[in-house]
Structures are given as structure tokens and as C-alpha cells.
């Protein structure tokens, strides 16, 4: 079975998105987007997360009954820690999906879905941060490594930079 390479945005595009003045003013929406990108959380996980699911001492988020009715603990990205105080995000899945689509068209001039943030974060950790695929698999909560492998795509512009020796 062939799998389509998931649509992604770069961290730079993501920062442009969350730096938009309308999004910056809405701490809960900004946090929701950050949880999607930096924590690679599904929209269903983002809308259910509560302040008590964060353990400051361990810097962990406890995701309860995620996909497949599985619980998992994930480390909180430094970029997200300050925003945790704005939990819960207090918006439903449909509202959050509508917001990201509207905001991405307005700010980035491209239509993305909330799940694009998860794909983008996973690609960011694998391809930019150079996490091991097994680490990303656990972080995403995938039971099968094959599911995680779809994030191992290579950006053609990266190959061009390497080809021309501009990657040094």
C-alpha cells in the first residue's frame, strides 16, 4: 500500500503563524497550536488536556486515553512550558479545526489542518532535531514503527543545498 507523504510546514512557518497578532492575543489558541506542533498531539488530545496532566517536576504531560485508548507520558518542549498555565484550551475539536484552517490561510496563505501540526512537529524532530525514529515513535504513541516512517521524507531543497555544498 502506497502512503502519501503528509503535508507539513516548517518551524519558521509555524513561528510566523503563532506570532500573528490575532493569535498572540489568544493564549489558549496559541497554546493549542503549540501543543499540536511541539508536542505532536492530536486534536482530540489537545482539547482533553488539563492543568493537572502536567507534572512540572518531571516536565511531563500525561495524555489519558489517547488513540487506541492508550495513556502515554511525553516530555514538554521548552517552547511550550510557559503556555501550560493556559490549560485547558477550552475549545472543541471543530472550533479548533476551523480556527487553524482560517488562521493558516490568513497568515501563511495556505490551508492546513490541525493534524498538519502533528505531522510537521514529527518531521521537525526527525529531520531537523535529528531524533532517533524510535524516540519519535514513542513520542507520537505509534505502536508500529512503519507508521512513524512516513515522516522520514527528505525535502528536495535540502538535497539541493547538500548537492551544492551549501549545507556547511
State the pTM of this model: 0.86
Q: Is the pLDDT of residue 68 over 80?
A: no
**With bands split at pLDDT 50, 70 and 90, how would you rate the model's confidence at 153?**
low
Specify the CATH class of 11-163 in words: mainly alpha
- Residue 52 has a pLDDT of 96
**Extents of the domains making up the chain:** 11-163
Per the CB < 8 A criterion, the answer to whether 24 and 104 are in contact is no
- Contacts with 87 (C-beta within 8 Å, 6 or more apart), sequence order: 31, 49, 50, 51, 53, 54
Tens-digit pLDDT profile for residues 89-141: 999 999 999 999 999 999 999 999 999 999 999 988 988 888 888 888 888 88
d(CA 158, CA 163): 9
Amino acid at each position: 500500500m502506497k502512503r502519501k507523504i503528509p503535508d507539513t510546514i516548517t518551524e519558521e512557518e509555524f513561528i510566523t503563524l503563532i506570532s500573528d497578532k490575532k493569535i498572540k492575543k489568544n493564549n489558549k489558541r496559541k497554546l493549542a497550536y503549540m501543543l499540536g506542533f511541539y508536542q505532536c498531539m492530536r486534536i482530540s488530545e489537545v482539547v482533553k488536556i488539563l492543568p493537572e496532566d502536567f507534572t512540572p517536576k518531571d516536565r511531563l504531560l500525561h495524555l489519558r486515553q489517547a488513540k487506541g485508548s492508550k495513556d502515554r507520558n511525553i516530555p514538554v518542549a521548552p517552547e511550550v512550558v510557559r503556555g501550560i498555565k493556559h490549560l485547558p484550551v477550552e475549545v472543541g475539536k471543530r472550533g479548533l479545526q476551523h480556527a487553524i484552517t482560517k488562521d493558516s490561510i490568513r497568515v501563511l496563505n495556505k490551508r492546513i489542518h490541525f493534524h498538519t501540526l502533528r505531522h510537521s512537529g514529527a518531521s521537525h524532530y526527525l529531520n531537523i532535531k535529528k531524533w532517533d525514529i524510535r524516540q519519535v515513535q514513542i513520542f507520537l504513541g505509534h505502536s508500529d514503527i512503519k507508521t512513524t516512517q512516513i515522516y522520514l521524507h527528505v525535502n528536495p531543497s535540502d538535497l539541493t543545498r547538500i548537492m551544492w555544498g551549501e549545507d556547511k
